Amino acid sequence: MNKLLTALALLATVALQAQVVKTDTSDLTFTGTRISPYSIDYDSTGHFSLSGYIDAYYAYYSDTALSSGYQKFPTAAPRSNQFGLNIAQLSAKYQSRRFRGLATFFFGDTPYSAWSPNFNMIQEAHLGFRIVSKLWLDAGFFRTHIGLESIQPRENIAMSFATTTYFEPYYMSGAKLTWEHSEKLLLQLNAFNGFNNFVDNNENKAIGVSATYSPNDKVNITFSTLLSDESDNNFPRDQMRLYNNLIGVFQTKHVTIGLEMNYGVQQNSVLTDTTAMASIFSSLLAAKFRITPEWGIYGRGEFYSDPNEILTGPVINENHQLVGLDIVGGTIGIEYKPIPNSYFRIEGRVLQTQGTDEHIFYLSNNPSNTRYEFITGIGVWF
């Protein structure tokens, strides 16, 4: 009986202590396995919102599809002569004075054709807090901040993606330190697992800086640079890569113009001399003219040169030779917006490789340096 009374007294003491701890709901230490898990405190000043976005397409390509069923350089509308769904996504956002977070999950062709093989359905998931006034620290999975075009067609002028966009990083995992100096100037320090991955492929991290300057509400200029080494740990030589990206956007009520230029170098990467420095250059110019609030026309020119396959990986012609990639392209299209948060686009595009040995496409089953594209897409967000 004495043992039973002692045990009951001990349980009463523990219960009393648990009640004392329960009053401090800001400290969740050892609370994960409580019988009643509903005493978590929240910031009453925060705002939570849900949003969605859907994009569907039909596309036709003159080139033969790869064994995967996708076209070369697949991102948006990757299947030929088919109706498809690029993206169906749902986002949850939390914002308060001192804390913020965003998570977006998406489905469709784009996550399979262009996204990470790890955590395939996560487009982004990151959270952060304000350290001091105007200085934020965010960490998690991010959509890229490099490049003029986004993974979401609604944020771009065209439905298709420029070649330079395809070979830029789409997604990154890591941390960002952002100083919001003013409405005109924003500076950022970045540390990521790598150039274009969620899960690191080696022990080296990518570091970078970014700056955005907006002198007025019509002009925005952004510069980003990223230093990384994407070679495997057992690779005999370091392959440090420095990638630089410059973007300029001019926008009025009727006109939108975007210009992007990229220049990168990488150690020990020339195909014919693995001890020499290789380089890459690319650019694009895109413009849209809004005729009325509902109707607009747009065009885009693009150039991409990566002769030593720094970013493209092995590009092989009909003779199974490594040829690098030098390509130009042009896109024209028309857009109709039934409601402001929607679009219907019809566009045509031509891609043409420049090297005499760069027959990487097939036209009527014959090796070719040209590909023709037709894409129509419809999207809405809410």
Structural domains present in the chain: 1-41 (no CATH), 43-381 (2.40.160.10)
How does pLDDT run across 215-227, given as a tens digit for each residue?
A: 999 999 999 999 9
Quickly state the pLDDT bin for 363 (edges 50, 70, 90). Answer: confident
Quickly state the pLDDT bin for 373 (edges 50, 70, 90). Answer: very high
Whether the pLDDT of residue 173 is over 50: the answer is: yes
Cα–Cα distance for residue pair 37/64, rounded to 1 Å: 56
Cα–Cα distance for residue pair 21/38, rounded to 1 Å: 14
148 conformational bin, left if phi > 0, alpha if psi -120 to 50, beta if neither = alpha
Quickly state the pLDDT bin for 324 (edges 50, 70, 90). Answer: confident
Ranking 28-32, 234-238, 336-340, 357-361 by mean pLDDT, the lowest is 28-32
Based on DSSP, count helices (H) and strands (E) in the chain, helices before strands: 3, 18
Alpha helices by DSSP H, the chain: 2-22, 109-114, 163-167
Q: Which comes out higher in pLDDT, residue 321 or 213?
A: 213
Quickly state the pLDDT bin for 43 (edges 50, 70, 90). Answer: confident
Using a pLDDT cut of 90, give the percent of the chain over it: 69
Amino acid at 278: A
Ranking 109-113, 218-222, 364-368 by mean pLDDT, the lowest is 364-368
Instruction: Compute φ and ψ for 126, nearest 5 degrees.
Output: -145, 160
pLDDT at 28: 64
113, 46, 127, 47: which is closest to 80 by C-alpha?
113
Whether the pLDDT of residue 104 is over 90: the answer is: yes
Instruction: Compute φ and ψ for 352, nearest 5 degrees.
Output: -145, 125
Whether the pLDDT of residue 95 is over 50: the answer is: yes
pLDDT at 190: 96
Q: Which comes out higher in pLDDT, residue 76 or 356?
A: 76
Average model confidence (pLDDT) across the chain:
88
Cα–Cα distance for residue pair 343/221, rounded to 1 Å: 26
Whether the pLDDT of residue 55 is over 80: the answer is: yes
Q: For the chain, what is the radius of gyration of the CA atoms? A: 25
Whether the pLDDT of residue 66 is over 50: the answer is: yes
Amino acid at 324: G
Here the tokens at position 375 are 């894409």
Ranking 106-115, 120-129, 162-171, 312-321 by mean pLDDT, the lowest is 312-321
What average pLDDT score do residues 247-273 get? 94
Residue keyed to tokens 């033969």: 64
pLDDT at 37: 62
Could you count the other beta carbons within 10 Å of the beta carbon of residue 276?
12
Cβ pair 9, 17 in contact under 8 A: no
Question: Could you tell me the pTM of the whole model?
Answer: 0.84
95, containing H or E segment = strand 82-95
Whether the pLDDT of residue 16 is over 50: the answer is: no
Cβ pair 299, 287 in contact under 8 A: yes
pLDDT at 38: 60
Between the alpha carbon of residue 16 and those of residues 12, 27, 103, 130, 346, the distances in Å are: 6, 17, 39, 37, 69
pLDDT at 249: 96
The answer for residues whose C-beta is within 8 angstroms of residue 91's C-beta and 6 or more apart is 50, 51, 52, 53, 102, 103, 104, 105
Quickly state the pLDDT bin for 15 (edges 50, 70, 90). Answer: very low
